[in-house]
Structure formats: structure tokens, C-alpha cells
Amino acid sequence: MGLRESSSFSTLGDSETEAMDKSLKITSGNWLLVWSVILLAHRAQGCPEKCLCHTASKTADCKNRGFTEIPARLPPEIQILLLQNNRIWRINQNAFTATPLLKILDLSNNSLSSVAPGAFQKLRYLQVLNLTRNMIHYIENKTFSFLPHLKELDLSSNSIIRLPETFGNSTGNITLLSLKHNKLQKMERILLESLPNLKVVLFKDNPWQCNCNIFGLKLWLESFLYRGGISDGIVCSAPGVRKGRALLAVPYELFGACSLRAAPASGHPHGPEPRASEPRASAKHGPHEPPDGCEPKAKARPVSLRHAIATVVITGVVCGIVCLMMLAAAVYGCAYAAITAKARRQQLGPGRQHGAPDKRELLESSVP
């Protein structure tokens, strides 16, 4: 009995072990199937392998992934694309064809040296574009064309040396423009006038040349602040006499020889600007300051505001002294005439004042 029971127990144990092995195989197979389905669904949604896609927030998080180009197979429904802290050095014209609903695009801290015109033209719903901390040297005309909903454009911390006369068609809704920490020496006034809804503009830390080429920008900035705009102002880096001085604090007299090449077109929507008339005094340049973009007037003589005020005061004092002398001369003349007339009346005597004068008296009176 004991041997039979032990053999039966061993038989049961083997059968149970086989059953358990089968169940484990089935379970592991199910898990593999589930993970395969998840991965296939993930791939079907189009999220790149290195990115994290959040369906609820419609966000594709691709930052710090070492990308050198815009990743492919992005979900078409995403509205936020985070690509900061990569090594992206170019943007193809069709890079965003599959993501037409983007509203926020962050390309900060990459290796972009230029942006091809039309690179963002498929993003008609884009509202925020962040291109800070790249190596962009210049912006071409119409770089941001066909972005009618763009509101915030951040180009700070690049190496931009020049900006175009326009950012492109349908960019009039920009409300914030940041140009901080670049290499701008001047800026065309017409570019800022093409952004009628601009509320905030940042100019800090640029080597601004406060000569004639920036006079139009000075006029625009005064008008912009007068209308309630917000700006961190422009600080001059050159010429030497104006280094470290705020552009708005430079008197108009020092821009006297500058031609108003950036004068506003007729019918401008902003209306007249305060103090927009051309100054009459000539500009003052140092020995090493060529008046770039200036047209000196004939026989222009350097003056300053202090000298002008002193001239006005001295002229007023001299005129006052002359007027007092003329008044004193008039009073003296009147007094002398009155005294002379009184003396003559006394010489005539009382009897002769009412009678007719004789011939002798007439003769004497006619002799001087």
C-alpha cells in the first residue's frame, strides 16, 4: 500500500507540475500579446520612439533626446511640441506637414544657424514660437509667413546681426517680440510698424549704434510707449559720447543732421506721433564717429542744448538792456522838452503872452 500510495502521489505531482508550467506559458504568452498590442497602438499613433506623447494634453515631449532634425511620425493631433535641449541644426520645409494643429513650438537651446523661409508655413494655428539660445545670425524676409495666429515670438540669446523689413505675411497679430541678447546695431522702423498689435518688445543687451540709422527707431519707441506699450528700452553702445546712455535720453538736437528716411507713410493707423518733427540743430559727432546714414546740412555748426539755452538767455538780457536804454532816452527827451517850454514861457512875461508880438520879438524868436 505504501509503495502504491507513494507512486500515485508522485504521479499527481508530475501532472500538477506540467499543468502549472502550461498555465505559466499561457500567462506569459498573454502578457507578450498585451505588450505587443500596446506597442503597436503606440506606433500606430505616430509617436517617435524617443519621445513621450500625452494624449490628454496633446503634447509630444521630445526634449533632451539628441535629435539633429525634427523627428518624424509625430501624432497629427498634437498641439504642443517640446524640442528644447537637442542638437537640431536645420528645419526642412516639410518638417511640420504632419502636425498642422500645433499651437506651441519650443525649439530653444538647439544648433539652428538659420531658418529657411516658409519652414513654419504649415503651422497656421501656431501661437507661440520659441527660438531662444540658438546660433541664428539673420532672419530672412517672410521667414514667418502664413502664421496668422502667432502671438509670441522669442528670438533672444542668438547671434542675430540684422532683421528684415517684414517677418512675413499675416504676422500682424504678434503681441510679444523678444530680441534680447543678440548682436543688433540697428533696426528698421518699418518692421515694427508692420506689427500693429505689438504690446511688449524687448531690446536689452544689443550693441546699438545711436547714430542716424537708429533715429527712426527712437521716434517709433517714443510713440509706442506713449500708446501704452511695454519695453525695456535701448541702451547705446556707441558712439563713445553716448555709450551707456538710454536712447530716449539722447536730445533731438544731436540727431539734427539725420534725414528722416524712416518717416511713416501717409495714412498710418497710429496717427501723429509726439515730437516727430525734424530737429533743426545740427548733430554733434566725435572725431572718430562717421555720420552713417546722415546728410549734413550746408554750413552746419555743432551745437549743444546747453549752448542753445545760454544763447537765448544772453540774447534776452541784451534785448532787455537795450529796451531800458530806449525808455530812459524817451523819458529824458520828454523831460527836456517840458523844461525848455516852461523856460520860454517865463521869458515872454505875462503882458506879452496875450498881446500880439512886435516885429522885434518875432525877429528874435526866429533867430536860433
Q: Which H or E element spans position 238?
A: strand 236-238
Whether the Cβ atoms of residue 160 and residue 134 lie closer than 8 Å to each other: no
Whether the Cβ atoms of residue 282 and residue 259 lie closer than 8 Å to each other: no
Higher pLDDT, 343 or 218: 218
Higher pLDDT, 338 or 15: 338
Q: Residue 60: which of 77, 85, 43, 37 has the closest Cα?
A: 77
Beta carbons within 10 angstroms of residue 4's beta carbon = 8
Q: Residue 264: which of 282, 250, 278, 252 has the closest Cα?
A: 278
Q: Which H or E element spans position 307?
A: helix 305-348
Instruction: Tell me what percent of the residues of the chain surpass a pLDDT of 90.
Output: 44
Strand partners, 177: 153, 201
Residue type, 96: F
pLDDT in tens, 248-270: 998 888 887 775 544 444 344 44
* pLDDT of res. 256: 74
DSSP per-residue letters across 64-110: TS--SSPPSS--TT--EEE--SS------TTTTTT-TT--EEE--SS
Q: What burial class does residue 63 get, using C-beta atoms within 10 Å of its C-beta: 0-12 exposed, 13-18 middle, 19+ buried? A: middle
User: Please, which contacts does 48-52 make with residues 24 or more away whose CB atoms are closer than 8 Å?
Assistant: 48/72, 48/73, 48/74
Give the whole-angstrom CA distance, residue 170 versus residue 3: 94
Can you read off the three cell numbers belonging to residue 143? 521667414
Mean pLDDT for the chain? 78
Higher pLDDT, 294 or 217: 217
* pTM for this entry: 0.62
pLDDT in tens, 180-232: 999 999 998 999 999 999 999 999 999 999 998 899 999 999 999 999 999 99
Q: Is the pLDDT of residue 178 over 60?
A: yes
pLDDT in tens, 19-69: 555 554 545 555 444 444 344 444 445 798 899 999 999 999 999 999 999
For residues 324-330, average pLDDT: 89
Q: Residue 216: which of 243, 177, 247 has the closest Cα?
A: 247
Beta carbons within 10 angstroms of residue 178's beta carbon = 21
Question: Where do the DSSP E strands lie in 101-141?
Answer: 104-106, 128-130
* pLDDT of res. 197: 96
* pLDDT of res. 360: 53
